[in-house]
Structures are given as C-alpha cells and as structure tokens.
Amino acid sequence: MWKKTSGLAAFTIAFVASVLFAATPRPLADMAIPVPNGKAINLKAYRGKVLLVAVISTDCGPCIASIDILNRIQKDFGAQAFQVVVAAGDMNAQYLLQPFIQRYRPIFPMGYLSTDQIIQLGAFTKEDHPFAPIFLFVDRKGVVRQQLSGDSAFFKTEEASTRRMVQDMLKQ
C-alpha cells in the first residue's frame, strides 16, 4: 500500500511494530468514507452491528480475491446484524473506484480513503507500511477487536478465518 525506501530490516521492524502496536481493543476512528457519488459511508451508522472494515488496493490480486470472499460472507451473515464496508486506498482511488465496482460487483458499501485517513483508521504511524488488504473487525459497540494486515497468516485461510471471526463476534 505504501512504498518503503529503506532496507528490509527497517521495513520488518516497522511492520511488526504496526501489527503489535495497533492497539486493540480501541474505539473505531470516527470518520466517514467518501464514495464516488458524493455521499459518504458513516461508520457510526453501523453501531449495533458487527462490522468488518477492509482497506484494499484496486490493483492488488489478494485484495480483489477478498471482494469475492467478502461478498459471500456478507450474503451469509448480513441478516444477522453483520456488515462489510470496504475502502480503496490507492492514489487516485476516487477515480479508480467506480470502474472497480462495476467490474467486481461488491454487495456492500465501498468508498475510498487518503493515506492520512488510512493511518487514522488503522491507528498506524506514518512510518508503518502495512500490506493490503487490511481487515478491522469491529464489535457492536464500535470497538476494533482485531486488526490484520495482508501478510498475516490469517489470510492464508482468509474465508474460513473471516467466517470464524464473524461468527464469534456475532455471538457476543
């Protein structure tokens, strides 16, 4: 998602720090996610539901695969007070998003975020360089309970892992 110009060791340290120190539980950032039609997705509107907020890149293969997985999970759990919201974090995402939506047909709201908004949403520092996709699992009270970046082992079994997490959170 972000480029890193220094060595691999510095990158590894920064990434590990971002995973370990993106504190959870924490309140979900109070923000609205802009959408191409000019309206915004207000994350506070989903209080009372289990929420999965995903940050993707429109040209990332694993992110595109996540859209199909999230469509299935939204379909299966949506009636149980579960909601997926996705934000593209590419440069110029506001221009890339509409063709992406037309091609991949998400059944959940999708918008876009700037780098600064992604940093705020994920409680990252400007030195962090997480991999997309980034998943934030938010409980019914608006608290981020789990945050995972794309190179986490979680994504090796993404659909099964996401389903388990959603099912566990819906029971709470």
SS (H, E, C) the chain: CCCCCCCHHHHHHHHHHHHHHCCCCEECCCCEEECCCCCEEEHHHHCCCEEEEEEECCCCHHHHHHHHHHHHHHHHHHHHCEEEEEEECCCCHHHHHHHHHHHHCCCCCEEECCHHHHHHHHCCCCCCCCCCCEEEEECCCCEEEEEEECCCHHHHHHHHHHHHHHHHHHHC
**Would you state the pLDDT for residue 127?**
87
Tell me the per-residue pLDDT of 52-92, one tens digit each, with 9 for 90 and over: 999 999 999 999 999 999 999 999 999 999 999 999 999 99
Residues above pLDDT 90, as percent of the chain: 80
Close Cβ partners of 35 (under 8 Å, ≥ 6 residues apart): 41, 97, 109, 110, 111, 112
pTM of the model: 0.86
**Would you state the pLDDT for residue 7?**
40
Average pLDDT of the chain to the nearest whole number: 88
CATH entry 3.40.30.10 includes domain 8-171:
yes
pLDDT for 31 beyond 70? yes
Tell me the per-residue pLDDT of 136-149, one tens digit each, with 9 for 90 and over: 999 999 999 999 99
**Would you state the pLDDT for residue 24?**
86
Tell me the per-residue pLDDT of 1-26, one tens digit each, with 9 for 90 and over: 443 333 433 333 344 444 444 688 99
**Would you state the pLDDT for residue 14?**
42
pLDDT for 171 beyond 50? yes
